Structure 1
């Protein structure tokens, strides 16, 4: 009988355990929210059950759903939904007022609150960040690229942090609405924070080679 190292046995045991812990076999497909699919080609493929936070409604938005999760505290998801709905209402009221006061090109004023949220997050997403890497007993701040998932997380986290740092006497939906409107226009503290981070990464680009050394 051939000798099998202990590490290999542990890996095999862990893989079997992970398969047992999973509710679905590996050949099951992820749930698809898109209604426009080829049913004939997908009819024989088993699909996992959708989670509670997924929906095929036209009002569903992945970024909006993630932002609700980040707003949620102590598991009170309904309160987070109400706060975000109030934020969208405040944004829409503000944009309608601007539209009525604007005597020029009224097509430049965006009224859709969800589109403004997407624009704000896209303007606030960092592409690089500084990572402390130790070489020769010295720590260098090395610029490294940010993954897409983390860049979206940082953008929404910065928007919420900037809103919560403002005056506590003002309700969160109003503070968050103004932060989103500023970021959607390429202004505000969140966009400045992103620009400052990119500027620091640019000044430390001489240490970029430490990523691979």
Structure 2
């Protein structure tokens, strides 16, 4: 095989250096509860520099890692603002429904009702995370769908992707709007119900059926 001089190879190795010198920079605090507590006298962050926070790790109340990632996953043709409006509209629908249920509930039932739409979204996405994934592996001219364990960040992405595709199908067929479908799926998923939970279970069943090919991982 001849590689032309102008060909550009994509590196898959980890970066050997960082913009932050490990000797003088330390990790920032993103948890709001920890920010309220003073640093101990022997904490290195008292006299060293702090790394910049990522945009989805800011401790402000109006930013949330799951919501920010869901906005990016639901984006189409680079229209991020449209995606953000749909996701935030879905959270508003969840908030209104939970408050309606809270107003109608008795004094004993009210503490059991979750009013935070962010918390419902986090629990719903977490319940939809698959434990395994299928990946094609070719052996002897035949491609096998081999089950592989999945990392948490990729599992979160796949959960959002499954939910996004299901909501898009419902909106495409005219059953409902995307924001309404997303709100319904998040609420059902927070209770371990809904089409996204079923899709995750079907994936697990397929992985279980293909476990005989697990020795092809290496």
TM interval, short-chain normalised: 0.7 to 0.9
1:18 CA drift (Å) = 6.4
Q: Distance in 2 between matches of 1:154 and 1:139?
A: 22
Q: Distance in 2 between matches of 1:37 and 1:143?
A: 47
Choose the corresponding residue for 2:26, options 26, 29, 44: 29
1:114 corresponds to: 118
**Match status 1:144 vs 2:148:** yes
1:195 CA drift (Å) = 0.2
**TM-score, structure 2 as length reference:** 0.75
Q: Distance in 2 between matches of 1:122 and 1:164?
A: 20
* CA RMSD between the two structures: 2.8
1:192 corresponds to: 198
**Residues 105 and 31 of structure 1: CA distance in aligned 2, closer, same or farther (over 3 Å):** closer
Q: Distance in 1 between matches of 2:186 and 2:180?
A: 10
Other structure's SS at 2:47 match: coil
2:90 corresponds to: 87
2:179 corresponds to: 173
2:129 corresponds to: 125
**Residues 50 and 134 of structure 1: CA distance in aligned 2, closer, same or farther (over 3 Å):** same
1:97 corresponds to: 100
Other structure's SS at 1:31 match: coil
Q: Distance in 1 between matches of 2:185 and 2:170?
A: 10
C-alpha contact (below 8 Å) 2:133/2:149 kept by paired residues:
yes
Other structure's SS at 1:166 match: helix
1:108 CA drift (Å) = 4.1
C-alpha contact (below 8 Å) 2:56/2:64 kept by paired residues:
no
**Match status 1:207 vs 2:204:** no
Counting matched residue pairs gives: 195
Choose the corresponding residue for 2:46, options 39, 43, 48: 43
For residues 178-206 of structure 1, what are the alpha-carbon distances to aligned partners after superposition, in whole Å with 9 as ceiling and x for unaligned?
11112112222111110001001111112
Other structure's SS at 1:91 match: helix
**TM-score, structure 1 as length reference:** 0.77
1:106 CA drift (Å) = 4.5
**Residues 132 and 81 of structure 1: CA distance in aligned 2, closer, same or farther (over 3 Å):** closer
**Residues 47 and 79 of structure 1: CA distance in aligned 2, closer, same or farther (over 3 Å):** same
In terms of fraction of residues, the more helix-rich structure is 1
1:6 corresponds to: none
**Match status 1:64 vs 2:67:** yes
Unaligned runs of 5+ in 1: 1-14
1:154 corresponds to: 158
**Residues 62 and 39 of structure 1: CA distance in aligned 2, closer, same or farther (over 3 Å):** farther
